[in-house]
Amino acid sequence: MATCTYTVPNLDTSGDNLYGPRICWQAFIDWAWEAFDFDSGDWDDGFGYDEVCNNTQPLSRALSGIYCLTYSSPRFPNESYGGNILEWGCRFARNAIDELDARCGTSSCSPSSCPGSIARTQWGPFTDDLTELYLPFFYNQGVSLRAGTILHESRHADGKGHDSGNNDSSWGYNGAWRWQVCWLSWFAFEGVGASVAMKTQATQRANNIINNNFDTHPGFNV
């Protein structure tokens, strides 16, 4: 990652000290690598391919988000679409996302200033379907927020874009922002294996989205 730099925020607050050792498990790494179609060429050169258990590196931090997306439901391994989104979110995401790539996105990122886009997904006919994760995803979002972002991007990968710039017009549009709010809310309500701080972050992020990313405010907070 010669072209971008970052400083790593507190690893307890973000949840990386909790989840880093969990993802350092070869069977999980192999499963996630296939399920989300990682390629070494998109995660080497400073993104952590050679240091997958290093929780200051992007790859470990992406895998922690996937772990959180996978295992947070108290009813795991039930992933039935008849259940709530905390149960089936990972199933949907890994089926919808074509490939997951790390990119800088912005030239530098510090805990006090981490500008720019978090992630981006492109999809459609004659398009190389892919999802890119940028420095703010790795270093401005704790583990639970990364899980929510991956789910958000998977809604795009399944073909549902935003219908009002970067916003969704309404809750009823049933877009990526609604899905992200729902996942974060269920995680805060009944997620297992997580810290209180991670749940607080999830609730705050959900309310931030509710207040800012719908043209018509849904009319509630969580």
CB of 114 to Zn ion, least distance (A): 18
Alpha carbon 83 to its chain's center: 20
The total number of residues written for the chain in this structure: 222
- Looking only at the bridges linking them, the beta strands covering 130-133 and 100-102 are parallel
User: Residue count at the site for Zn ion (CB under 5 A)?
Assistant: 1
Do 143 and 15 meet the contact criterion of CB atoms below 8 Å apart?
Answer: yes
CB of 152 to Zn ion, least distance (A): 6
Nearer residue to Zn ion within complex by CB, 54 or 164: 164
Nearer residue to Zn ion within complex by CB, 61 or 152: 152
Give the torsion through C-alpha atoms of 99, 105, 109, 112, to 10 deg.
Answer: -100
Residue 150: closest CA among 167, 169, 134:
134
Nearer residue to Zn ion within complex by CB, 176 or 202: 176
Site for Zn ion in 155-184 (CB under 5 A): 176
Nearer residue to Zn ion within complex by CB, 18 or 114: 114
Site for Zn ion in 183-222 (CB under 5 A): none
Nearer residue to Zn ion within complex by CB, 104 or 157: 157
Three-state secondary structure readout of 71-115: HCCCCCCCCCCCCCHHHHHHHHHHHHCCCEEECCCCCEEECCECC
CB of 99 to Zn ion, least distance (A): 17
| Mask for 22-51, x = binds Zn ion (CB under 5 A) | ------------------------------
Which residue ranges make up the site for Zn ion (CB under 5 A)?
176
